[in-house]
Structures are given as C-alpha cells and as structure tokens.
Amino acid sequence: MKKLIFLFCLVFIVCCENENTDSIKEFETTLGKKNIEVLNLLVNKFELFLSKEYPALEVKDAYYQFLLDIKNNKEFESDYFLSEEDRQVYIKSGFKNEIYDSENNVNQTGKYMLALSLVKDSDSLIKKYFENRQAAGTIHNILFANSILSNDPNFNNYFHKRIVVLEYSF
C-alpha cells in the first residue's frame, strides 16, 4: 500500500511539473526569444536588488517582504533596481511596448497579455492577475501588492516572479 501511495504521489508531481513546463514553453514561445531575454534580465536585476535590500532573506522571502513594504507605502528610489543603462535596454528592446501602450497606459492586446491568457488557467494567481489587468489596465502599486499577497504567491514560481517584476519595471 505504501508503494502504491508513493507511486501515485510521484506520478502526480511529474504531471504537475510537466504542466508547469508546458505552460512556461507556451508563454515563452508566444512572447518571443528577444522579449524573454529582456524579461529574464529584468528578473535577474530585480533579484539582485532584493538581495541587497533584504540581505538576511532568501530571494523568495524578499519578494514577499518587498510587496509588504509597498503595501505599507514604503518608497523606493526611482532607479531602485534598474540602472539607466538597463532601463534603456528594456525600452529599446521594444518589450515595454508589448506591455504598456504609451498613449493608453496599457496594452491589453500585446504579446505579454496574450501569453498570459494562454497560461492563466494553469494557476489561480495568474488567472486573478490577468482578470484584474484586463478589467483595470495598469494597477496602482499598493493595490497590486495587496492583490498579489492575498492570492497566496509562491516566489519560486516562474510566473509569479515575472508578474511582480514587470509591474515594478516602469
């Protein structure tokens, strides 16, 4: 019986991991290689900032603390995690235009929202974020922090990290 339970758990874990891997592949394919490279750069820079801002915390815990600080109205310098050079890479790449339309402040039909729409049903936080973003466009920092924190984030999750990073990248 123990072997059967173990086997069931193993199959369940492998299936869940494959679903996550498939979702990541679908997201990355839709967003495109160049945009993924920029997104990964943003995540790396943000995590470097987190490790400096919260040196006693693991990165996943630092994401959580950062959102708590935002929720509590802590202010950060405007260039807190992106240098001017990094910001220019982000802007010149065109990726910003796939997320934020300079005229309307939000691009709901860009590749980013399209990619999220394809994977939103794989995770309740992604789904809630997607629905909120579709309904409201850009979300005020404090409201965003409250929303993410109330949806049980897992900052080991590929998507949860990227959603947070992109909300604070402009």
CA distances, 75 to each of 1, 67, 71 (Å): 55, 11, 10
**pLDDT for res 138:** 81
Give the separation between CA 121 and CA 161, rounded to whole angstroms: 17
- pLDDT tens per residue, range 31-74: 999 999 999 999 999 999 999 999 999 999 999 999 999 999 99
Answer whether 110's CB lies under 8 Å from 98's CB: yes
Judge whether residue 170 has pLDDT over 80. no
What's the domain range around 73?
2-167
Query: What percentage of the chain has pLDDT greater than the value 70?
Result: 82
The structural domain count of the chain equals 1
pLDDT top residue among 148 and 82: 148
Cβ atoms 29, 152 nearer than 8 A: no
Whether 104 has a pLDDT exceeding 70, the answer reads: no
Residue 81 φ then ψ, to 5°? -130, -10
pLDDT value of residue 108? 58
Specify whether the CB–CB gap between 112 and 28 falls below 8 A: no
**Statement: residue 101 has pLDDT above 80:** no
Report the pLDDT averaged over residues 130-152: 91
Residues 149 and 160: their CA atoms lie apart, in Å, by 11
